[in-house]
């Protein structure tokens, strides 16, 4: 009787693994999106750049993972500061 129980348990476990295989094989497609923001100071320019990177990804149908990261900022003279930011976004295959 124990052999029958063992074989039933093994068959159920194998069926469970086979049922999970298609979902596990569908990997999310991810990529980076970048944006540039400008403002009178680094705080405003950084905010504009980070929000822009998120908006670009979301407007194209991607789901942003985490927060946007500030890449760099530079002074543009009398026009203030210009910053660049990137966001990581993913899309599951259909």
The model scores a pTM over 0.75: no
pLDDT for the residue numbered 9: 39
| Residue 5 reports pLDDT greater than 60 | no
Cβ 89 vs Cβ 63: under 8 Å? yes
Give the DSSP H or E segment for 43: helix 42-59
Q: Which of 79, 3, 92, 5 is nearest to 36 (CA)?
A: 79
Domain coordinates in residue numbering, the chain? 29-91
Q: CA 83 to CA 69: how far, in whole Å?
A: 11
Question: pLDDT tens digits, residue range 74-86?
Answer: 998 887 999 999 9
pLDDT for the residue numbered 71: 96
Q: Given the DSSP bridges, would you call strands 63-64 and 29-39 parallel, antiparallel or unpaired?
A: unpaired
pLDDT for the residue numbered 2: 55
Residues in the chain: 94
């Amino acid at each position: 009787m124990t052999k029958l129980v063992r074989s039933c348990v093994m068959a159920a476990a194998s069926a469970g693994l086979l049922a999970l295989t298609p979902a596990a094989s569908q990997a999310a497609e991810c990529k980076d999106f970048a944006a540039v923001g400008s403002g009178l100071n680094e705080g405003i320019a950084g905010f504009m750049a980070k929000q822009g990177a998120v908006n670009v990804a979301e407007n194209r149908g991607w789901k942003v993972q985490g927060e946007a990261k500030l890449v760099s900022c530079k002074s543009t003279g009398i026009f203030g500061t210009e910053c660049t930011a990137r966001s990581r976004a993913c899309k599951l295959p259909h």
